[in-house]
Amino acid sequence: MFWPVIPKSPASWKVPPNLLDYEPTVATFSWDAVRGAFQGLPENRGFNIAHEAVDRHADGPLSDRVAIRWLGAEGATLSIRYGELKTRTNRFANVLKGLGIGKADTVAVLLGRIPELYIAALGTLKNTSVFCPLFSAFGPEPVYQRLSRGDAKILLTTERAYRQKVAPLMARLPRLQSVLLVDAREHASDRLLSLPRLMAEAADAFVIPPTDPEDIAVLHFTSGTTGMPKGALHVHGAALTHYLTGQYVMDFHPDDVFWCTADPGWVTGTSYGIIAPLLHGITNVVDEADFDAVRWCRILQAERVTVWYTAPTAIRRFMRMGIEPARQYDLSRLRLVHSVGEPLNPEAVVWGLQALGMPIHDNWWQTETGGIMIANFPAMDIRPGSMGQPLPGIEAAIVERADGGVRVIEKPNVQGDLALRPGWPSMFRGYLHDDARYQKCFVDGWYLTGDLARRDADGYFWFVGRADDIIKTSGHMVGPFEVESTLMAHPAVAEAGVIGKPDPLIGEMVKAFVSLKPDFAPSDALRLELIGFARQRLGSAVAPKEIAFTPDLPKNKAGKIMRRLLKARELGLPEEDLSTLEDSG
């Protein structure tokens, strides 16, 4: 289906974007120039994320600016200013130091979005230890996998989570020295400690040790389609990417109020829910509660949010519920909406114009890339369904495998492997304890992302699908995203997930799982209507031959539809790792 380009012009800007001229900026770009935006540790002791995100502002004119505006699930609120954030993170760093935790030691956090999580993240980075966030909804086995594989020495959690998920694991975690309970008033044992008591006893001052930009800062676990979760390692120097994408993609300005809805258990919640906004010295909204459409609209209005970063699953929920925030709430301060997690269907991009008063900007990146790589920039025309164009400083290409290596596909609109030229600051530096897997990601001087895409004649990239999701049917290579987007253009469809089902005649049959909007009910007539709708737009070879109705599609905690789980259930195969499945804990 053809979706018209959404043009951008100065008349549509509430403030002029930071990146106005894309091509000249790309041509003259240098990462060395980005380094000039930072202060560096005193006495040339190196580069530390927490110093640049907290202390640099706390020791300057932004000391009294609100850094974190926390909204509790039960109605409590807390504003932490940059000066106070420095003191609190200093105390946490001193707690770690007092427990003998030092450089490269892993500090795991199993918490909901409460202030202690954010203080722990930054305090851990100050101590040059490694921050490892875990989803609070994880069950015992996913927690064990990550604590064990991540060599965690410290775990922060609540008393309830400890009893339910961690206590049964303690005998299997000999490397775990201490568990810090954020809601315990007193120490329970030598190994089970009260964080409030330790924080009360800790000093306010802390000198950040020498930090090399290549020192490991963050460990993020990411689950593949099969096997155990992989631990991607990121360094302090990654902050250059976080800063640049905050400037050019999020378009941060000094008075912005930013809200990233992602949990730090997902890389977006760390890179953009903690680091990027604080590097820019702006106010960062944190909401403890889970998704609630009305609550979210009220937050946008009450907190006067200017830049909002959310996920396609949340946008589709708004669409499914028929809510149009701009008609019911005062969103006059909101100027940019971004989406990430999985490709944003064209209909959702266009929906933003009507429901929010502005289009939604999609962007692409991975846990392994550490930060946004390809984006729809604020001053750039939007082509609905496109990932956009590469960030300045990022070289992206479509490649095909040939003669044991890869070859760049120069011709536009040809499907191939999406590849990036290694060397950007936030590129992962390894998979923990799995160097062989890490090395396989790089071929002929390119990082192979595992995603299939195409590049049009104007330089816009278009997501096709994960390489292991591609459906081979009757000699055609079908990307699930294209079929899902087409189905979502039907007024009855809220969400769709598409898989390939083995077929002896055509190799694989395209099958779609469809979730309907509230005003529609499953029926054979609607099933035939949807098949006909898709055939008219996609052709019979690409359109689904089977459609199953389902109330909800399985998603991971980042909101991505888990197609491999749909396929496993359809074929009766092992479901493999379910640790990131919504409500799996």
| Nearest alpha carbon to residue 305 among 262, 268, 269, 257 | 257
Do 406 and 459 share a structural domain?
yes
Structure tokens at 235: 């360094």
Determine the average pLDDT of the residues in 141-169: 93
Together in a domain, 345 and 487: no
Structure tokens at 496: 């769709």
CATH number of the structural domain spanning residue 404 = 2.30.38.10
Domain-terminating residue out of 335, 357, 386: 386
- Amino acid at site 432: L
Give percent of the chain with pLDDT exceeding 90.
74
Q: Are 119 and 183 members of one domain?
A: yes
Q: How confident is the model at residue 252 (pLDDT cuts 50, 70, 90)?
A: very high
Q: How many CA atoms lie within 13 A of 84 on its CB side?
A: 12
Kindly tell me the sign of the dihedral angle through the C-alpha atoms of 467, 516, 541, 457. Answer: negative
Judge if 314 and 353 occupy the same domain.
yes
Alpha-carbon dihedral 213, 215, 221, 222, rounded to 10 degrees: 40
- Helix or strand run (H / E) with residue 407: strand 405-408
**Short-list 257, 249, 278, 306, CA closest to 62:** 278
Looking at the structure of the chain, the number of domains it has is: 3
The SS3 call for residue 355 is: helix
CA distance 566 to 6: 34
Which of 386, 415, 445 delimits the end of a domain? 386
As a whole number of angstroms, the distance between CA 112 and CA 288 comes to 7
Q: What's the 3-state SS for 432-444?
A: CCCHHHHHCCEEC
Structure confidence at residue 2 as a pLDDT band (50, 70, 90): low
Residue 585 lies inside a defined structural domain of this protein: no
Is residue 222 located within the same domain as residue 128? yes
Sign of the CA dihedral 538, 541, 545, 550?
negative
Q: Is residue 310 part of a domain?
A: yes
Q: With 60 as the cut, is the pLDDT of residue 454 above it? A: yes
> Radius of gyration (Cα) for the chain, nearest Å?
24
Same domain, 99 and 222: yes
- Phi, psi (rounded to 5 degrees) for 516: -95, 160
pLDDT tens digits, one per residue of 371-383? 999 999 999 999 9
Do 422 and 526 fall within a single domain?
A: no
| Mean local confidence (pLDDT), 283-302 | 96
Cβ(395)–Cβ(419) below 8 Å: no
pLDDT of 221 strictly over 60? yes
Domain assignment of residue 380, yes or no: yes
In a domain, 579, yes or no: no
Tell me whether residue 444 is in a domain: yes
Pairing mode, if any, of strands 446-455 and 178-181?
Answer: unpaired
Comparing CA positions, the residue from 521, 478, 514, 520 lying closest to residue 496 is 514
Q: Are residues 338 and 208 in the same domain?
A: yes
Q: Are strands 257-260 and 307-310 parallel, antiparallel or unpaired?
A: parallel
Residue 324's Cα: distance from chain center in Å?
A: 25
224 and 238: one domain? yes
**C-alpha pair distances (Å), 433 with each of 32, 215, 248, 450:** 31, 17, 35, 21
| Assigned domain for 26 exists | no
Query: Any idea of the CA torsion for 60, 70, 158, 125, to the nearest 10 degrees?
Result: -30
Task: Determine the structural domain holding residue 460 and report its residue range.
Answer: 395-465
Whether the Cβ atoms of residue 463 and residue 469 lie closer than 8 Å to each other: no
Q: Does the pLDDT at position 28 exceed 80?
A: yes
Provide the pLDDT for residue 473. 75
Model confidence pLDDT, tens digit, residues 470-501? 787 765 667 787 788 889 889 999 999 998 88
Please give the Cα distance from 555 to 446 (Å, whole number).
30
pLDDT of residue 343: 79
Mean pLDDT over 410-427 rounds to: 96
CB 137 within 8 A of CB 580: no
State the average pLDDT for the chain.
92
Q: Indicate whether 578 belongs to any domain.
A: no
Out of 146-155, 198-207, 217-226, least confident range: 217-226
Assess whether pLDDT exceeds 50 at residue 225: no
Tell me which DSSP letter residue 452 carries. Answer: E
Report pLDDT for 228: 66
Instruction: Return the closest-CA partner of residue 560 out of 301, 222, 234.
Output: 222
Question: 92 and 185 share a domain?
Answer: yes
Helix (H) or strand (E) holding 302: helix 293-302
DSSP reduced 3-state for 167: helix
The residue-averaged pLDDT of 48-68 equals: 98
Task: Burial-class residue 334 by CB neighbours within 10 Å (0-12, 13-18, 19+).
Answer: buried
Predicted confidence (pLDDT) at residue 324 exceeds the cutoff of 50: yes
Are 125 and 168 members of one domain? yes
Report the percentage of the chain scoring pLDDT > 70: 95
- In this structure, are 500 and 477 located in the same domain? yes
pLDDT value at 584 more than 80: no
Q: Which of 417, 444, 465 is the last residue of a domain?
A: 465
For the four alpha carbons of 528, 530, 531 and 536, in that order, the dihedral sign comes to: positive
Q: Per-residue pLDDT tens for 562-578? A: 887 888 888 887 665 55
Considering only CA atoms, which of 155, 147, 202 is closest in space to residue 173? 147
Q: What CATH number corresponds to the domain at position 127? A: 3.40.50.12780
Would you say 453 and 374 are in contact if contact means Cβ atoms under 8 Å apart? Answer: no
- Asked if residue 582 is part of any domain, the answer here is no
What the block records as the tokens of 278 is 């604080």
**pLDDT of the residue at 313:** 79
- For every residue of 3-68, DSSP letters joined together read ---B---GGG-SS--S---HHHHHHH--HHHHHTT----GGG-B--HHIIIIIHHHTTTTTTSEEE
Query: Are 390 and 396 within 8 A, CB to CB?
Result: yes
For the beta carbon of residue 139, count every other beta carbon within 10 angstroms: 15
- Residue whose structure tokens are 């092992």: 574
CATH of the domain at 554: 3.30.300.30
Q: Is 505 helix (H, G, I), strand (E, B) or coil?
A: coil
> Can you tell me the distance from the alpha carbon of 95 to that of 76, in angstroms, rounded to the nearest whole number?
26
Q: What SS3 state is found at 578?
A: coil
What's the pTM value of the predicted model, to 2 decimals? Answer: 0.85
Q: Give residues with Cβ within 8 angstroms of 556, minimum separation 6.
A: 223, 562, 580, 581, 582
